[in-house]
Structure 1
Amino acid sequence: MSLRIAIVPERLGSVLSPCGSIRLAAFFDAMRKEGAEDWEFRYLIPEEVAAFRPDVIVWQRIAMDERQVTAIADLAKRSGALTIYDLDDNLFDLDDAAERLAYADKLKAVEKSLQVADQAWCSTVELADRVSGIARHRPQVMANALDPGLWGEAPASAEPDAGVHCLMYMGTRTHAADLGLLSQAMDLLEDRQPGRFKLDIVGVASEYPERPWMRVLQIPGHVGASYPAFVHWIRQQGARQLGVAPLLASSFNDCKSCIKVMDYAALGMPTLASDVAAYRPMQADVECFKADNDAVQWATAIERACGDAALASRVLAGAAARIGATPFVEAVRLRADAILLGRAR
């Protein structure tokens, strides 16, 4: 089947947003490389879509405003094009006050997109459940998968450096509350074993407390908002003993995916994550370590994960099974099959 597929990704300035790279470009670029069924792909801005005369139109998050979504829906109705909307965050229940303000005038476009799209793709079951009452049809779960062509082979795992256990925490700068929990745990570890645990932070918050155990890794200016550039840079930083993913329970966080476990595995690190809904798909002590959201529990879990090298190696191997070519190819296939099924109806 010959298809013309228009892709309207979310952009930040001149580059795709990280979500644009992770949720759309990775999979559609893979389809193009495979020569999928004589399909033609174009990355477009909304105003270019009509001229392309697409058979399929895919957009995501806040790539279009409400007026543009309405225009795309009208175009699809006239031409018979299949419309697909991808959403990977619960934008209706944002925790961060600044983010809520930034997205306030964009939620109508998100709601409209869900209402008009023939297919809605969501990153988790919880997110699909959250928006199912808004979407035109029951959303399909299209889980995240890392592009092995971008991430490459995972580096060797790290060992203690002169008896010091090194951890890494990376994320967007909206995790101040999560960092607060982790900071309490790290303070406890500093009291128990002074100087034995260090935490390298990448992003996570806009401000950081002064702590002897904390080291902030500054992301170079040339990386900007480019996800491929960030992956290239973070891989150059090398592995730590443990990647940490504290996450407080909330309506927003409960709809998140467990992609951070895969990120850390691709960097050669097992993960210690909060035992919350986002990490429910990961088996404790098999694919990641887990801890209740309590400072004492987190401190004890960090000591355990760093103190048992054999267990940490097994946990890393379990997480590594979720990355690489096999799961990525399957994720590409699921999306291609959804397109074919949608066009057949």
Structure 2
Amino acid sequence: MSNSESEGIFSVVARRRIPRIAYVAHGVNGKHPGSAHVRVIRRARKALRDGDAWVVQLDVDAFIANAVDHEFDAILVQRDAVEPTKVEPLITAAKKRHIRLVAEIDDDLLSATAVERLIDQGYDPVRLERMQRLIRFADRVVVSTKPLAGIVSTVNRSVRVVPNVVDPELWTRLRTAHDVAEPREQLRVLYMGSSTHAEDAELLREPFERLIAEEAPIALETVGISERDEPWRERFDIPGDKTNYPAFVAWLLDNRDRWDLAVAPLAPTAFNEHKSDLKFLEYSMLGLPTVASDFGPYRGHGQHGLTLARTPDDWYSALRSVLAAPDALASAATTARSYVESERTLTDSGAWIRAILN
């Protein structure tokens, strides 16, 4: 969302007092990481368009220098979007002007095991420490899951949970006759995610290697998980102009009939226990039935059409069952999508605004 868009809508609703929220996120002019889109940008757009809040991306430097024209009820900082050297000046400026400062996170960035993992992956310790300081001194912390709220509450008692949802503006597209895939002899499976899911992906190695050795008609395609092919998995590359989240979603929808099934493995680690079920939501909006790890955010979704697997044997059996009864896929996909559409889509911004301000 651009500042000009915010200003234009603000002029219409300025006659009544609505909350004024500024946010800080990586990226500008609608080009942001996927997590920022899901957690902040799409909700901000919804609030702005519905006239429930005036929301604008904050120029941190200008705010610290007291050169921002507008005052705000709250400033929301998503993850580590504030440069480390500017965290303390931002905290000081917000406190001085009596503006509510809110931290927004969707991963465990505090526990000892999480910190060790992040640093081992090359995360800047200084940036991490500054982000932790912001979380501690924020007037409110907004998180994506209850387990994550439990971690954050050890350093900040003012925590609110706003579960992830998908924006129907991005994810809803009716199928046409052109979309219907031609019958194929091989079951094609999708696994999408960032390179940080390498450990999770390893849960699929043994079951897919077994299936390949048996010459089962199944293939695993990964989107974004790995930079190389392996005998048990192949990449399906994202075009260079489709990496921004809205364009990426459109690209997935263009290709949804390429796949028959989706998988969401999650290694049983303390870090993963605090993750959200976003993959299940996105897969369901693609119309794909899903097999996921019986762990963390996916546990409990069996009633919503999700097939759960814990051990390599479970994964193998689940995939074998799909091969044996492919007609069951349509029913599972319908159940999952019905749940997401009724319970987990962005229908209003009220809960988000209340979590920030109340």
- TM-score, normalised via structure 2 length: 0.84
2:351 corresponds, among 319, 334, 344, to 334
Aligned to 1:187: 209
The answer to whether the 8 Å contact 2:142/2:356 transfers is no
Cα deviation for residue 263 of structure 1 reads: 0.8
Cα deviation for residue 329 of structure 1 reads: 4.0
User: Mean alpha-carbon deviation: is it higher for 70-79 or for 259-268?
Assistant: 70-79
The answer to whether the 8 Å contact 1:154/1:266 transfers is no
* Unmatched tracts of structure 2, length 5 or more: 1-16
The answer to whether the 8 Å contact 2:161/2:355 transfers is no
Cα deviation for residue 5 of structure 1 reads: 1.4
Q: Does 1:133 align with 2:173?
A: no
Equivalents in 1 of 2:269, 2:185: separation in Å?
37
Cα deviation for residue 262 of structure 1 reads: 0.7
Cα deviation for residue 14 of structure 1 reads: 8.9
Matches within 5 A, 1:1-345: 1-11=17-27, 15-36=31-52, 39-49=53-63, 50=66, 51=68, 52-92=70-110, 93=114, 100-135=121-156, 137-153=157-173, 155=175, 161-192=183-214, 194-211=215-232, 214-224=233-243, 226-239=244-257, 240-282=259-301, 284=302, 286-292=304-310, 294-309=311-326, 311-324=328-341, 327-329=344-346, 332-341=349-358
- TM-score, normalised via structure 1 length: 0.87
Cα deviation for residue 101 of structure 1 reads: 1.9
Cα distance, 1:154–1:165 mapped onto 2, change above 3 Å: farther
Equivalents in 2 of 1:288, 1:306: separation in Å?
16
Equivalents in 1 of 2:134, 2:125: separation in Å?
15
* 3-state SS of 2:191 partner: strand
* 3-state SS of 1:74 partner: helix
* 3-state SS of 2:190 partner: strand
Q: Name the aligned partner's letter for residue 48 of structure 1.
A: A
Runs of 4+, deviation exceeding 6 Å: 156-160
The answer to whether the 8 Å contact 2:141/2:160 transfers is yes
Cα deviation for residue 285 of structure 1 reads: 5.3
Tell me the C-alpha RMSD between the 2 structures: 2.6
* 3-state SS of 2:242 partner: coil
* Unmatched tracts of structure 1, length 5 or more: none
* 3-state SS of 1:15 partner: coil
The answer to whether the 8 Å contact 2:162/2:355 transfers is no
Number of residue-to-residue matches in the alignment: 332
Cα deviation for residue 58 of structure 1 reads: 0.7
* 3-state SS of 1:222 partner: helix
Q: Name the aligned partner's letter for residue 19 of structure 1.
A: S
Q: Name the aligned partner's letter for residue 267 of structure 1.
A: L
Cα distance, 1:188–1:331 mapped onto 2, change above 3 Å: farther
* 3-state SS of 1:302 partner: helix
Q: Name the aligned partner's letter for residue 30 of structure 1.
A: K
The answer to whether the 8 Å contact 1:10/1:19 transfers is no
Equivalents in 1 of 2:36, 2:284: separation in Å?
22
Q: Name the aligned partner's letter for residue 42 of structure 1.
A: V
Q: Name the aligned partner's letter for residue 190 of structure 2.
A: M
The answer to whether the 8 Å contact 2:189/2:221 transfers is yes
